[in-house]
Structure 1
């Protein structure tokens, strides 16, 4: 018996073919929005604006495949996979896919094994809906046979897609369609503008926009009042400087006192000699680690970058003055350590541009202790000790380490790692609660590793200063457990929202240092404060930041803190300080021709 294939099931009715050709893109759009919200969140004009893009993609695929059957099947499955990828990204880092995530694919793949995706009935229904539409597409019966027609049609569709992308950034289109332009909350923007509309609209932010009133003359006028200070302390008396940016390290008690079986940071909480401790405000949550180290090492704030962008991947393409290059000029040996792949966030490319002499990555660790398949903080800190013991007697060491032990993916059971810190309320002990308990257990592991590092340097004669801070809090599925216990809602309470961007910082030394406490600070200021505590003269840029810090103790992509401690959205602050800072950030990062290099180093 001859085997049947799809051509025996083609729809013969021209009317039905026409109806399905028109309806399938509409249904696919609805399914795409259904991954994360409901399609009727879109207004009719915005729905139509999104539908135009779907129509262009379906038309291009039809010309490329030479038939509606092949083109519609491909496009439907393409959208299904794109929407599913966005669903996973939102679950992992609490924010949607943005255009520059294409640079992060290798980083995302390298850590994907440690994440679990919640498979809901709704998700299954949406995927089945896509599959059903793909099956229907296979029986559509319209073909484009002539190769010239196919090539010309595909080319026209590509040009139309380029035009669509350009017009989505046009102020007239934005105003006419009522598109949301508030980058402050990407999830809300995608909900209001649609997944495709939000994604395409963000393409215009692939480059940092020049601030209003920017010129080399304006920047020189700002910088002329700040000259790099000489370091009066002799090199032999300067301290070794150790900086640890600890992955997802945070103290969730910033939301309030919640019930827990035992203290998860007993050592850090007990430190009271030669130590500064406080709240560091960051620009990211649940991911985009590289943005926190960028802010710390450069002094530039993500407040002036496109939402969701990653400067390491998009903007750092040539040498840029940083904390590392400044210390290198003062005679320090500068080493960057990351116990994972060097390709993550392009660190192996960026670190030399920031002035690091040496880079150590995963392969430089011999049989290290691991937790959840990641190199542990204990092993990571031991590498710092190894570098210290290998250096020359007259050599000063600056190490900057970004850890991996606490990386996300807390709901997945890995190896013999189990929670030992428990939430002691009467909450249902479901997957998310267990994940939160595992996270808190990891915090205790970091605390113990930090204790061992401090105890080692307590015994050393050479002056040494150690700074540790978190890069961000864990994803929402962890913090939401604590918020539910405390009866808090980040979506309706601004204070709770801002608290999602607080991590601890701890600065300790094995010698007497000024321990005047700074309760609140953001990462762009933290490097300057470290230099000052180490007795190292500030750069002109760091002096500017120190003065601005008096007016605005913290500034991030999410908020600005006023001198009175009030926290507001950046868009609500009008200040000459902020305007000048924006110009300096642009000059430092983007202006290759007129960069005031000496001002930053």
Structure 2
């Protein structure tokens, strides 16, 4: 009976929701305390990863491999090797642009430096699957280049439900000599200690190890370690490591709750038809965004002084869940858009290679493409996906219920920023999407017909 509890179409699933079941996939220990060990156990039963695409077979996957191997070899004739370039991928917790939210007005721009940087460099908006949460799902997609929207609707927490079950998963850090993850918080949340080890990160610095994050500085009364300290540690690592290193950096400074005591020294004021609580939260949040903006400026200035080539991929993972008057039926896509940019201290990047809109699954190939680096067949396919398809996503009409349920695949047009009916894609678009889904199935739930050379050097 309980084996179907994770299926959105199951009566047991609906009944469990009425009984106030909340899986808390981001923290099983918390889930067990809230729901009890038995319900926590059954929440993980028989979770379907992904429907098998039509015509999935070894022959089909070999055809896809040969197609994109040929395309990448031809294109790579005019591309350069990355050499000893470092790549720093920064997931900035809850970073977004509050001036874009309808119905509120701030007295000043909280992110002037980041806005100017985006104007002159490859940049755009990322479509997040979450609102007010879902960090690890954005993290998983950014590292693996697998889109959440293609997975089964029962897949609500990719770290907890999928990562540890995958066989030899490819992640972007596999393309580098060394990979280091840095997170100034507990490494137990979302099971990151085990997931990042599975993803072949050689080191993971967090507050509770396996390597210890050494800094303790906070901004005013903010309970989390500030971005300035996080960047200081990243710079220290870049200066001390040789060869090509991939840095996976996850901040915590702008995590909820955004209360009035967080920043006693705060000049940001907001106007709008909002409650006192919402006003306080938005003003506190805006101050945090401004501190990140200042930290970004100092980080960039310090990177300019480093001789080694460094590429920075920066993105916010989702908006904060503080806008109680937001109309998700009307502005759902807007409420899921966060800024991203790609920047390098010495390399000339191609701004036109960065799409106006992308999903988190596109960051690896976008970084390589903007730098004109050689692409693997997998990234050649992903370049087609990010440039020629609408953004593959889900939950554009929902707020913070990602942990409980998820919508089927949704597509967002890069031109209109509106939802697109999958049945109305062109024949070419449908073919690219189908190829991507075949590859995603093979890498995550299928029989791994694709050779290792498809994803790796």
Give the TM-score band, short-chain normalised. 0.7 to 0.9
Q: Is 2:153 the counterpart of 1:304?
A: no
The structure in which a higher percent of residues are helix is: 1
- Deviation of 1:203 after TM superposition, in Å, equals 6.5
Residues 397 and 566 of structure 1: CA distance in aligned 2, closer, same or farther (over 3 Å)? closer
Contact 2:391 2:414 in 1 (8 A): no
Distance 1:321 1:107, change over 3 A: farther
Q: TM-score, normalised by structure 1?
A: 0.62
Aligned pair partner of 1:214 in 32, 56, 70: 56
Distance in 2, Cα, partners of 1:251 & 1:52: 36
Gap change, CA 1:373 and 1:544, over 3 Å in 2: same
Alignment of 1:342-361 (within 5 A): 342-361=187-206
| Match status 1:288 vs 2:143 | no
Contact 1:274 1:509 in 2 (8 A): no
Give 1:208 deviation, angstroms.
3.0
CA distance in 2: counterparts of 1:401 and 1:213, whole angstroms: 39
Separation in 2, partners of 1:216, 1:390:
44
Pick the aligned partner of 1:226 from 60, 68, 71: 68
1:24-423 equivalences under 5 Å are: 83=20, 97=22, 99=23, 101-102=24-25, 104-106=27-29, 205-227=47-69, 229=73, 233=80, 236=83, 238-256=84-102, 258-271=104-117, 275-307=121-153, 309-317=156-164, 318-327=167-176, 332-363=177-208, 364-371=212-219, 372-392=222-242, 395-411=243-259, 413-414=261-262, 419-423=266-270
Inter-partner Cα distance in structure 2 for 1:548 and 1:391 = 33
In 2, distance between residues paired with 1:219 and 1:501?
33
**TM-superposed deviation, 1:396:** 2.5
Alpha carbons of structure 1 residues 50 and 315: separation in structure 2 relative to 1, 3 Å: closer
Gaps of 5+ in 1: 1-45, 55-78, 87-96, 113-157, 162-198, 484-488
Q: Give the Å deviation of 1:525.
A: 1.6
Superposition map of 1:390-469 within 5 A:
390-392=240-242, 395-411=243-259, 413-414=261-262, 419-425=266-272, 427=273, 430-469=276-315
- In 2, the alpha carbon distance for the partners of 1:313 and 1:541 equals 25
1:479 maps to 323
Would the alpha carbon gap of residues 107 and 545 (structure 1) be closer, same or farther in structure 2, given more than 3 Å must change? farther
Q: Compute the RMSD of aligned alpha carbons.
A: 3.3
- Structure of greater Rg: 1
Cα 1:109–1:450 change in 2 (3 A) is: farther
Residue 245 (structure 1) shift: 0.6
- Residues 429 and 419 from structure 1, CA distance in 2 versus in 1: closer, same or farther, beyond 3 angstroms? farther
Q: 1:458 to 1:413 in 2, by over 3 A?
A: same
Of 325, 328, 337, the match for 1:490:
328
Determine helix, strand or coil for the equivalent of 2:271. Answer: coil
Indicate the residue corresponding to 2:7 in structure 1.
none
Gaps in structure 2 of 5+ consecutive residues = 1-9, 396-409
Q: Cα distance, 1:342 vs. partner?
A: 1.3
2:405 paired residue number? none
How far did residue 367 of structure 1 move?
4.0
- Checking the alignment, whether the CA contact within 8 Å between 1:274 and 1:510 is kept in structure 2 is no
2:105 alignment partner, SS class: coil
8 Å contact kept, 2:82–2:374: no
Give CA deviations for 1:150-193 in whole Å, capped at 9, x if unaligned.
xxxxxxxx9xx9xxxxxxxxxxxxxxxxxxxxxxxxxxxxxxxx
Quick one: distance in 1 between partners of 2:49 and 2:264? 43
Q: Which moved more, 1:522-531 or 1:567-576?
A: 567-576
For residues 223-280 of structure 1, the C-alpha deviation after alignment (integer angstroms, 9 at most, x for no partner) is 22012556964565x4321110101111133345842111100111222686222111
**How many Å apart are 1:377 and its aligned residue?**
0.8
- State the TM-score, normalizing by the size of structure 2: 0.79
Q: Distance in 2 between matches of 1:109 and 1:403?
A: 27
Work out whether 1:552 is the aligned partner of 2:389.
yes
Given the superposition, is the C-alpha separation of residues 546 and 235 from structure 1 closer, same or farther in structure 2, using an over 3 Å criterion? closer
Provide closer, same or farther for how the CA distance between residues 540 and 384 of structure 1 changes in structure 2, counting only shifts above 3 A. same
Q: Shift in Å at residue 303 of structure 1?
A: 0.7
Structure-2 change in CA distance of 1:266 and 1:220 (3 Å): same
Q: Is the 8 A contact 1:377 1:405 kept in 2?
A: yes
Pair 1:515 & 2:351 matched: yes
Identify the structure with bigger relative contact order (alpha carbons < 8 Å, sequence gap 6+). Answer: 2
CA distance in 2, matches of 1:293, 1:551: 23
* Residues 570/250 of structure 1: CA separation in 2 closer, same or farther (3 Å cut): farther
Secondary structure at the aligned position of 1:374 is classed as: coil
Tell me, yes or no, if the aligned pair for 1:466 and 1:508 is still in contact at 8 Å: yes
